[in-house]
Structure 1
Amino acid sequence: MNLFPILVEEYDLSGSPDFDTFRKIIKEDVESEGEGQTGLHSLACGGKSSHGRWDPFTMSESHPLQHCIIPFLQDYVDKVCSSPLCFGNAWYNVLPPGGFTKRHRHEHSVVSGALYLDLPQNSGNLYFVSPLQQYRMCELFRTECEYNAYEIDMNIKENHLYLFPSWLEHGSRVNESDQDRIMVSFNTSHYTPAA
């Protein structure tokens, strides 16, 4: 029996309407350099981010993609028996060779998403940190297994979306490829329909 499981879901967005258009717009923005939409971010070590500067979900070209994500978000919500959610803010991160994302969580969000637009081979996995680590300070383990691991790497895929609880600490391993890794992250909040 697994008690208190944490749901991390993976969804394939390959072939979604306007996915390639969305990717092209993000890549053009990345390559535009100096337009004021990206900058340094304390979590994107060696990289840059549009966090707090530009939200790619505000462009009309992203709306078809958002409509594709909504059923996946609803699937996640149904599995964890949550109240309805809606999109919050979104941003993109660019991690060049040697770049990585520090361990963090997403404050003021319920479920977070990570969508990988460009994911060269060896560009670093997404990893999650066990929320139980602080309570296990006296345990000694002969070897690491699924019941005592403090960090778990997830083998991520290009064009795939990952949804997870925003309180779950996570980060990315070092990009050991010779190309940039580009991904879009977003947050959600509880949706309250108008009366």
Structure 2
Amino acid sequence: MALRPLFATPIYEATLSTDRSFENFNAELEQACQMLADEDRAGQAWCKAHAYGGYTSYASLNDLPLRASVFADLKRKLDRHARDFADALAFDLGGGKLKLDSLWVNVLKPGAGHTSHIHPHSVISGTIYVRTPKGASALKIEDPRLPYMMAAPTRRTDAPEEVQPFVYLTPQPGTIYMWESWLRHEVTTNQARSERISVSFNYGWR
């Protein structure tokens, strides 16, 4: 008997924490994120209006690499990882290339989360984690076939990760996760006693 694992859903995982200058880079990145959370009035207003538990620049700022050099440095690092992921996915870009379309900060308060969603109009999406205190939210990934399973039995608790309907990824500072933008995911409740800080992004195809 043979099992052929077809139609895989790859999640790209890497880390910046092994870089020699990571601690200084991450400290500067956290400071820049906190600065935006303190000063971005439009973003604060959007978060209040939409009951976002903390701060995000998603709906207010679309030029972070121009606002602070640390975001420009981050973009260059992410560009390399996005190229590696696209190559692993065997994308035929037809002479085009992936381009960073958006980059935004997330500062998630204790008790807050982000409900299940996808990222329309993008090819690759992802997050890099800046601050992950003990008890910080996991990234919950959903099997994209879930709506079609109908009468299928539930999986055993000891089932391998690749056949579980949900997988919970627990990042550390410097962790990068990337996935294809159609993949449904959510941020579980932040059970830490302090804020969880991350920077999310989307890549389009040009």
**TM-score normalized by structure 2?**
0.83
Closer, same or farther: CA 88–149 of 1 in aligned 2, 3 Å: same
Shift of 1:20: 3.4
Partner of 1:3: 6
Identical aligned residues as a percent? 24
Residue 178 and residue 68 in structure 1: after superposition, are their counterparts in 2 closer, same or farther (change >3 A)?
same
How far off is 1:119 after superposition? 0.8
SS at match of 2:192: coil
Q: Which residue number corresponds to residue 84 of structure 2?
A: 75
Residue 35 (structure 1) aligns with: 41
Is the partner of 2:101 in helix, strand or coil? strand
Amino acid at match of 2:42: G
Give 1:99 deviation, angstroms.
0.5
Could you tell me how far apart the structure 2 residues matched to 1:103 and 1:151 are?
12
Is residue 44–residue 99 contact of structure 1 (8 Å, CA) maintained in 2?
A: no
Give 1:182 shift: 1.1
Structure 2 Cα separation of the partners of residues 103 and 18 of structure 1: 30
SS of alignment partner, residue 7 of structure 1: coil
Greater fraction of residues in helix: 2
Which stretch of structure 1 is more off in the superposition, 20-29 or 158-167?
A: 20-29
Query: Structure 2: 5+ residue runs without aligned partners?
Result: none
CA RMSD of aligned residues (A): 2.2
Change (3 A) 1:113 1:142: closer
Residue 142 of structure 1, CA deviation: 6.0
Which amino acid is the alignment partner of residue 106 of structure 2?
N
When the two structures are superposed, what TM-score results if normalisation uses the length of structure 1?
A: 0.87
- Which residues in structure 2 correspond to 1:5-154 (within 5 Å)? 5-14=8-17, 15-16=21-22, 18-30=25-37, 32=38, 35-38=41-44, 39-40=46-47, 45-55=52-62, 56-61=64-69, 62-82=71-91, 83=93, 84-141=97-154, 143-144=156-157, 145-146=159-160, 148-154=163-169
Structure 2 vs 1, CA of residues 120 and 64 (structure 1 numbering), >3 Å: closer, same or farther? same
Partner of 1:173: 188
Aligned pairs, number: 190
Q: Aligned partners of 2:174 and 2:155: how far apart in 1?
A: 38
